[in-house]
Amino acid sequence: MENKKALYHFDENKWMRYIRDNGLVPHNGQNSQSIKDDKKVVFYSQGEEGAVVMYMDFLKHYEDFKGEKGDKAIAQYDDAVAGRIELSEDEMRSLESQVNEINRIRETDSIEEYVGEGPYLKISEVEDETIDDKHFNFANSWTTKTIPPDKLSVMVLKDKNDGKDLSEKGDIIDFFLGKMTEEQIRELPINDGLIDYISRYKSDHQEELSSMQENYELDSMTIDQYISEELEGKITAKDLKEPIKEGIERLSKKGKIKDITMQKDDETRENDDEVR
């Protein structure tokens, strides 16, 4: 499917070597599982405005569950468990899933920790398919097909003065948002609450966003370049912990050596955090 707008997908540093070798493979990750969504897909957003809406929706969701909305859901769940209020089985299952997600969010200290450090990938093309789903839109799009590595590149911001790169997903979103006018934000086909949130975020960070527009320009690099220039020597013990643990488990079962530091097979990734 040829697209007039660029397609964007954010992911984590710990998966970059896997993606370089395998592309973006459809899977059902933790975020989908937490809301009882059983789709095995690759999520992406259409255009810079789609990427902004997707990331800002994640950020709003994160802050809501960190705050009063999360407190109310937990209190309601406690009341239901104690028998002070009555809920149907479906309502109880939904609330329990929500509380599990709230607890997962509250175990983290920042949105970066929640979604995982890593870049935005630009997708040049996705395979044509028909998706009939009311939740499919310009910000929240998906494909059931694997996107091969040669259709992917890493978005970076280059400093106009010293050429140094910024590649973290939050920086890319700030750059995209800094280009949008208030009128463009107000015209986005999304709910008023999210529009107000994006508008307020831009107002609160106006100085920072303007500085990024003045001092950086958007560029891209191959995944190999990104791994070599941005990740070599920078992968933390936290990044490696789970892949190493699961790699060791495979070694004990198969009795042979394989590269376990940065890669997982398709089945392994299905059980890890999903990036949407």
- In this prediction the pTM is 0.82
Question: What is the chain's Cα-based Rg?
Answer: 20
Over residues 229-275, the pLDDT tens digits come to: 988 865 444 444 555 555 555 445 545 444 444 444 444 565 554 44
Per-domain boundaries in the chain: 7-270
Using the predicted structure, report yes or no on whether residue 3 has a pLDDT greater than 60: no
Mean per-residue pLDDT over the chain, rounded? 86
> What are the E-state strand segments in the chain?
7-10, 42-46, 120-123, 141-143, 152-159, 165-166, 216-221
| Four-CA torsion 2, 136, 61, 158, nearest 10 degrees | 0
Residue 161's H or E segment, with its range, is none
Over residues 40-65, the pLDDT tens digits come to: 999 999 999 999 999 999 999 999 99
Highest mean pLDDT (candidates 30-34, 170-174, 241-245):
170-174
CB atoms within 10 A of CB 208: 10
**Average pLDDT in the 73-89 region?**
97
Neighbouring C-alpha atoms within 13 Å toward the C-beta of 76: 18
Q: Read off the tokens for 154.
A: 């890493």
* Farthest CA pair distance, the chain: 63
Class of residue 115 by CB neighbours under 10 A (exposed 0-12, middle 13-18, buried 19+): buried
Task: Give CA separation, 180 vs 38, 175, 183, 207, in Å.
Answer: 34, 9, 8, 14
CB 201, CB 177: distance < 8 Å: yes
Query: Which amino acid, residue 153?
Result: S
Q: Read off the tokens for 64.
A: 């809501």
- What is the predicted pLDDT for the residue at 32? 64
DSSP letters, 197-239, are HHHHHHHHTHHHHHHHHHHEEEEEE-HHHHIIIIITTT--HHH
- In terms of Cα–Cα distance, which of 31, 13, 221 is closest to 117? 13
- In terms of Cα–Cα distance, which of 91, 213, 230, 94 is closest to 159? 213
With tokens 């892949």, the residue in question is 243
Over residues 87-140, the pLDDT tens digits come to: 999 999 999 999 999 999 999 999 999 989 999 999 999 998 889 999 999 999
